């Protein structure tokens, strides 16, 4: 039996080609993902391990939990503690480190590197062993800095140059006194690192006199654990925590691995979708191969092969196909991994260098996935093969797919679909995250249900296309009839395309609706002309607010200042706003009382009011960060949105109690509204700071749109693979149909249908199948998009369904293009068929 | 090996009352496969004419070239040298597209099997050549043909709902429906039982007698050949004999002689 199975594989090479390709693509996706993420993760881990070379034991401050009226806070690492650490017998040296966000501009005034990776730190003393100087000398005072050699090279800075930069708002223009090298992971990943002297760093990062961490290096011969024990003894245990360098590196490695696994899982989900789509092709191919071999298989049964042997022979074939596809996929996957890395490199996201990691796990997964998926998909056709009675060997009838048991199938499909729709609808009435799981379940049920029902749906839907097809005469008529001839096969082919299009459409509908509603929300509550914020989302210095107040033409300014406080023994975040101007800058619907902020009068949003049982006029006591208390009165309750919510307190009341006031955003209203001149004058007032963004509502909308477009494009790119696999499926089905109907095609040619007519017939069949899948996908996609929107929308007042008609038209066009492209080769083959051989063949 | 007919087997010649107009003619027709050593001559300078309103059967052992001759004359196959005319049209110079059009408009076909499209009803199968040409069928003629083959009550059936004989009758009707200049049959009764075969052959003969159709049929069955007006015998790519007004016995007799000659030579 093994020999016959192997012979069959080699005899049907051409017909197995599409199956092989489909499995190969899926495996390539999986192994490419694994190769890429493993390589990246290993490179990052090596990188970060190097970063801990200077630390044998790290001393960090303890977190003091919030208690009573006191908010939680870190203990302070003082200079004394650094000296104490250095004085421990096993310590060679102790360095106090301070870190913070530091944006540097390149020579054109643009932000250097990715905002999130722009770090600043302190240079310890006159010779910091962590950062060997390439040129220049250590910085002194706020006017001098060091920059890393990579960034210096990229921006073209040299010792003596003046650099525009910003830490949390105001622009400063220090001189570069030196350039250093570092193996810091951030820098290796394309970020920048700027160093100040210790005192300046502490001041700029708002941590005057304190450190983030003390890095202690052991003397030769002293182990990390010994040093750690000495430090534990010497330092107050209620203030500090100690961790060995090895542990830090391990923790970091773990963190990298876990952040990588998110990326990996995300990519694997899409790989899984491609593979799932691929199973339809595999099942189709094996079903056809079994049908064609009915006589042969029956003969084997007649001469004594058991049912199990027949099934096994089909599965052995699947195994061979899967194994070959796995090898090819693995090779292609390594290529994908390399490609992804260089793609990221060109997308301004430099990757750390490192060897390509092809782990045994990757190889194992490639084979497991390739072989299992193929065998699983071939299992049903294999069972069907076993059911062929031996007597079929004697009958002269050419076996065609039976149309039995569609009743059972339709019943099952209807049940699944109904259950799916019911669960999805039920989920839409739930609150936010409660509905997510049922909605996912309902979606899966509905997709399975529709998939089971596709053979039934194919008839009416394709019949609906008849009037259009009639235009194409005989070719159109035959194409329509051919496409419903084997409903199961047509269904499986169309379903493959349906899945891709369902996801694409669903995502598009949801993203479009969300974008619109966020957009509307931003527009509805904001009256300000401009919003000023940090490019990377970091907080702004209160200095920015003051500078904006002084700018010309500005009529109202208010910050959105972050603070946390204690109310009734709970930590609560409050927003500091300028009570005098906030009403001009925002327009929140007021549910109760009036929107009035000032002194002890505050406004709260509905949710907060409900949870504390407040109404307009209620009074409560707040304990600020410094422990001081104040009695506040609720003047009004407002309807919050995603951008602003919570308790709004006047900054005048808040500021005295805050050690480090920081603003998320500053809102500005100008005399002339929004204009280029107004924007320019605001930017100028802030010293044309590269790290600060001045945006009007339109900019905000554009930014939201840009974000959604980026996400959508990524999803499109990842789903494209599933569509490619679906195209292979359509090609496969058409090639099968042409092969099976070669006699018919020969007869048609003999009685006078020309090559063009034959080509048109195959193309139209392809188009009908593809559009059928496309229509189903669009329908399901819109439904899921709507349902998911209902779920998310329950938390958003401004949510409304937006149907992207143009996009949907485009998707349908895409399905049509898929159909036309997929038919190219099969149609050509059909037209080239030798008439005589076709009629003679049997 | 000699294949020249012996004097005793000279054909009787066409009956005098037959029209002499020719529907199709092959002249010095040769078909050669391969080259040099491996060269196979399928047709060796065959010249033959098929007169209008005549029913001709082509017979011969396997590999004699009888099917090749029919395929070449019907415009389904290319030939190496010589010429083929259907009516006034010379086939040798035609491109595939023109040949297809010629087959569609001037020729009818009946094959041994897979004659019908399973997705179309009997009537749709009958009118298929006209549908392909985008022509309306001649209603009156269509009725005549359908009545003749006795399919009036089966028109909406699918081929799978018809018996083998009925399917072949649909094929005959399809070949007749477009009023082609000539109908070619490739073993049209090969897959049928003798009763159904007799029916189909009867229709073909009737179409010649009553409707003036021209029919050429390849067969290996002497009984089928007996329905024809004239039988041409082929062996090794040449016409070796010809019989007018054959009977099953006379055809069988001739064939036995070839077999005997073939064995002794």
Torsion of CA B104, B107, B108, B109, to 10 degrees: -90
- A747:B111 CB<8 A: yes
Least confident of A50-64, A143-157, A801-815: A50-64
CA A768 – CA A748 distance, rounded (Å): 21
**CB contact at 8 A, A35 and A352:** no
Minimal Cβ distance to A839: which of B108, B111, B128: B111
Least confident of A46-60, A159-173, A382-396, B117-131: A382-396
Would you call B134 helix, strand, or coil by DSSP?
coil
Which of B69, B73, B114, B185 should we substitute to test contact with A (largest number of A Cβ atoms within 10 Å)?
B114
Cβ neighbors of A39 (< 8 A, separation 6 or more) are: A337, A341, A354, A355, A356, A357
Cβ neighbors of B5 (< 8 A, separation 6 or more) are: B240, B241
Tell me what percent of the residues of chain A surpass a pLDDT of 70: 95
Residue numbers in B near A744 (CB within 8 A): 114, 117-118
- B132:A743 CB<8 A: no
Which of B63, B86, B105, B132 should we substitute to test contact with A (largest number of A Cβ atoms within 10 Å)?
B132
- A750:B111 CB<8 A: yes
Give pLDDT, residue A346: 65
Q: CB burial class (10 A; 0-12, 13-18, 19+) of residue A513? A: buried
CA A436 – CA A416 distance, rounded (Å): 19
Question: In chain A, what is the greatest distance between 2 CA atoms, to the nearest angstrom?
Answer: 103
Give pLDDT, residue B265: 42
A629 φ/ψ sector (left φ>0, alpha ψ -120 to 50, else beta): beta
What is the assigned CATH class of domain B51-67+94-264?
alpha beta
Tell me what percent of the residues of chain B surpass a pLDDT of 90: 32
Each residue's pLDDT tens digit, A258-311: 888 888 888 888 888 888 888 888 888 888 888 877 778 887 787 778 888 888
Give pLDDT, residue A141: 87
Strands, E assignment, A52-154: 57-61, 63-64, 73-74, 77-78, 91-97, 99-101, 103-104, 118-123, 133-136, 144-148
Tell me what percent of the residues of chain A surpass a pLDDT of 90: 18
Distances, alpha carbon B25 to alpha carbons A322, A679, B187, in Å: 57, 92, 21
Each residue's pLDDT tens digit, A78-98: 888 889 888 889 888 899 999
> What ranges in B42-121 are assigned the alpha helix state H?
66-73, 96-106
Residue numbers in A near B101 (CB within 8 A): 752, 754
CA A671 – CA A692 distance, rounded (Å): 22
> Is the pLDDT reported for residue B8 higher than 50?
no
Distances, alpha carbon A841 to alpha carbons A835, A836, B43, in Å: 10, 8, 22
Least confident of A255-264, A671-680, B11-20: B11-20
As given in the structure block, the two tokens for residue B213 are 């159709």
Give pLDDT, residue A400: 47
CA A12 – CA A511 distance, rounded (Å): 45
Positive or negative, the CA dihedral A171, A177, A178, A184 is negative
Q: Give the pLDDT mean for A499-514.
A: 90
Q: Give the pLDDT mean for A349-374.
A: 83
Positive or negative, the CA dihedral A484, A487, A491, A492 is negative
Stated pTM of the model:
0.78
Least confident of A47-56, A207-216, B40-49: A47-56
> What ranges in A180-244 are assigned the alpha helix state H?
185-188, 198-204, 224-234
- A754:B115 CB<8 A: no
Measure in Å the smallest separation between the Cα of A16 and chain B Cα atoms: 27
User: What does DSSP assign to residue A540?
Assistant: B
> Is the pLDDT reported for residue B33 higher than 50?
yes
Domain ranges for chain B: 51-67+94-264
**CB contact at 8 A, B152 and B182:** no
Give pLDDT, residue A811: 93
CA B240 – CA B114 distance, rounded (Å): 31
As given in the structure block, the two tokens for residue A721 are 């693979």
Residue numbers in A near B97 (CB within 8 A): 754-755
Each residue's pLDDT tens digit, B206-228: 999 988 899 999 998 999 999 99
The continuous run of DSSP H or E covering A34 comes out as helix A13-51
Q: Rounded to the nearest 5 degrees, what angle is found at the Cα of A772, between the Cα atoms of A771 and A775?
A: 80
> What ranges in A387-486 are assigned the alpha helix state H?
406-428, 436-464, 466-470, 473-483
CA A282 – CA A286 distance, rounded (Å): 6
CA A724 – CA A718 distance, rounded (Å): 11
Give pLDDT, residue B114: 65
Minimal Cβ distance to A751: which of B96, B103, B134: B103
């Amino acid at each position: 039996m093994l020999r016959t199975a192997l012979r069959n594989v080699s005899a049907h090479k051409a017909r197995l080609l599409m199956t092989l390709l489909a499995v190969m693509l899926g495996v390539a996706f999986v192994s490419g993902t694994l190769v890429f993420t493993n390589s990246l993760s290993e490179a990052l881990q090596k990188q970060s391990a190097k970063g801990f070379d200077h630390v044998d034991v790290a001393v960090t401050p303890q977190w003091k939990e919030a208690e009573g009226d006191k908010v939680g806070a870190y203990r302070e690492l003082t200079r004394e503690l650094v000296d104490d650490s250095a004085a421990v017998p096993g310590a060679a040296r102790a360095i106090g480190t301070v870190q913070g966000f530091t944006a540097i501009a390149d020579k054109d005034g643009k932000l250097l590197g990715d905002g999130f990776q722009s770090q600043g730190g302190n240079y310890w003393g006159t010779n910091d062993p962590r950062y060997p100087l390439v040129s220049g000398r250590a910085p002194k005072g706020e006017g001098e800095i060091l920059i890393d050699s990579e960034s210096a090279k990229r921006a073209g800075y040299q010792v003596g140059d003046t650099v525009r930069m910003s830490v949390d708002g105001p622009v400063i223009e220090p001189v570069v006194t030196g350039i250093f090298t570092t193996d810091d992971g951030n820098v290796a990943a394309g970020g920048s690192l700027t160093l100040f002297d210790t005192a300046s760093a502490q001041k700029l990062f708002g941590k005057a006199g304190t450190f983030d961490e003390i890095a202690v290096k052991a003397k030769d011969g002293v182990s990390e654990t010994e040093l750690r024990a000495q430090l534990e003894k010497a330092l107050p245990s209620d203030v500090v925590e100690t961790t060995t360098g090895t542990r830090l590196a391990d923790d970091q490695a773990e963190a990298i691995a876990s952040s990588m696994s998110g990326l990996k899982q995300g990519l694997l989900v899409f790989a899984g979708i491609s593979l799932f789509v691929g199973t339809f092709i595999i099942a189709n191919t094996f079903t056809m191969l079994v049908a064609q071999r009915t006589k042969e298989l029956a003969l084997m049964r007649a001469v004594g092969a058991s049912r199990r042997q027949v099934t096994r022979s089909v599965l052995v074939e699947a195994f061979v196909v899967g194994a070959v596809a796995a090898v090819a996929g693995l090779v292609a996957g390594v290529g994908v991994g390399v490609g992804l890395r260089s793609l990221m490199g060109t997308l301004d996201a430099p990757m750390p260098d490192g060897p390509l990691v092809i782990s045994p796990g990757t190889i194992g997964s490639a084979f497991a996935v390739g072989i299992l998926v193929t065998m699983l998909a071939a299992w049903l056709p294999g069972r069907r093969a076993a059911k062929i009675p031996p007597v079929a060997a004697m009958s002269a009838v050419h076996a065609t797919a039976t149309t039995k048991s569609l009743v059972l199938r339709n019943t099952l499909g209807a049940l699944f679909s109904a259950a799916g729709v019911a669960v999805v609808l039920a989920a839409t009435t739930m609150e936010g995250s409660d509905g997510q799981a049922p909605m996912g379940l309902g979606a899966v049920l509905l997709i399975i249900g529709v998939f089971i029902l596709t053979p039934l749906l194919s008839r009416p839907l394709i019949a609906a296309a008849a009037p259009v097809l009639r235009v194409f005469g005989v070719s159109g008529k035959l194409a329509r009839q051919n496409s419903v001839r084997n409903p199961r096969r047509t269904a499986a082919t169309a379903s493959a395309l349906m899945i891709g299009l369902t996801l694409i459409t669903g995502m598009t509908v949801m993203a479009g609706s969300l974008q619109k509603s966020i957009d509307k929300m931003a527009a509805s509550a904001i009256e300000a002309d401009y919003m000023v914020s940090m490019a990377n989302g970091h907080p702004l210095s209160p200095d920015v607010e003051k500078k904006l107040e002084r700018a010309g033409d500005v009529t109202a300014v208010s910050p959105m200042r972050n603070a946390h406080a204690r109310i009734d023994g709970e930590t609560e975040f409050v927003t500091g706003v300028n009570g005098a101007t906030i009403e001009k800058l925002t327009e929140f619907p007021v549910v109760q009382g009036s929107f009035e902020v000032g002194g002890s009068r505050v406004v709260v949003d509905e949710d907060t009011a409900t949870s504390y049982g407040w109404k307009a006029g209620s009074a409560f006591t707040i304990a600020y960060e410094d422990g001081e208390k104040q009695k506040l009165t609720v003047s009004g309750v407002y309807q919050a949105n995603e951008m602003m919510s919570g308790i709004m307190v006047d900054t005048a009341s808040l500021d005295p109690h805050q050690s480090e006031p920081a603003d998320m955003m500053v809102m500005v209203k100008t005399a002339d509204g929004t204009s280029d001149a107004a924007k320019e004058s605001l930017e100028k007032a802030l010293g044309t700071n590269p790290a600060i963004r001045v945006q009007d509502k339109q900019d905000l909308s554009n930014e939201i749109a840009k974000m959604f477009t980026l996400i959508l494009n990524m999803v499109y790119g990842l789903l494209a693979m599933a569509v490619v696999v679906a195209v292979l499926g359509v090609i496969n089905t058409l090639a099968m149909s042409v092969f099976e109907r070669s006699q018919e095609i020969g007869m048609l040619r003999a009685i006078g249908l020309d090559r063009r007519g034959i080509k048109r017939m195959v193309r139209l069949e392809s188009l009908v199948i593809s559009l059928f899948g496309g229509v189903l996908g669009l329908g399901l996609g819109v439904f899921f998009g709507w349902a998911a929107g209902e779920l998310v929308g329950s938390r958003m007042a401004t949510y409304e369904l937006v149907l992207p008609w143009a996009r949907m038209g485009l998707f349908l066009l895409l399905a049509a293009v898929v159909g036309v492209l997929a038919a190219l080769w099969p149609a050509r083959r059909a037209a080239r068929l030798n008439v005589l051989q076709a009629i003679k063949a049997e | 090996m000699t294949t020249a007919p012996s004097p005793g087997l000279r054909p009787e010649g066409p009956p005098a009352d037959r029209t002499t107009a020719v529907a199709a003619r092959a002249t010095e027709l040769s078909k050669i496969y391969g080259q040099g050593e491996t060269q196979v001559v399928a047709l060796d300078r065959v010249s033959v004419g098929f007169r209008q309103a005549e029913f001709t059967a082509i017979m011969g052992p396997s590999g004699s070239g009888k099917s090749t001759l029919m395929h070449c004359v019907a415009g389904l196959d290319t030939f190496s040298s010589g010429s083929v005319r259907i009516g006034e049209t010379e086939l040798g110079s035609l491109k595939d597209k023109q040949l297809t059009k010629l087959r569609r408009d001037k020729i009818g076909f009946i094959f041994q099997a897979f004659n019908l499209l399973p997705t179309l009803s009997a009537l749709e199968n009958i009118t298929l050549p006209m549908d392909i040409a985008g022509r309306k069928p001649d209603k009156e003629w269509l009725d005549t043909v359908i009545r003749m083959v006795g399919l009036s009550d089966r028109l909406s059936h699918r081929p799978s709902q018809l018996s083998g004989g009925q399917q072949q009758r649909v094929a005959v009707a399809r070949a007749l429906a477009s009023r082609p200049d000539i109908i070619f049959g490739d073993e049209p009764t090969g897959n049928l039982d003798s009763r159904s075969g007799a029916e189909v052959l009867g229709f073909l003969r009737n179409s010649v007698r009553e409707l003036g159709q021209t029919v050429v049929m390849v067969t290996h069955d002497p009984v089928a050949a007996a329905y024809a007006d004239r039988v041409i015998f082929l062996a090794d790519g040449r016409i070796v004999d010809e019989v007018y007004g054959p009977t099953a016995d006379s055809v069988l007799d001739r064939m036995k002689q070839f077999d005997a000659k073939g064995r002794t030579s």
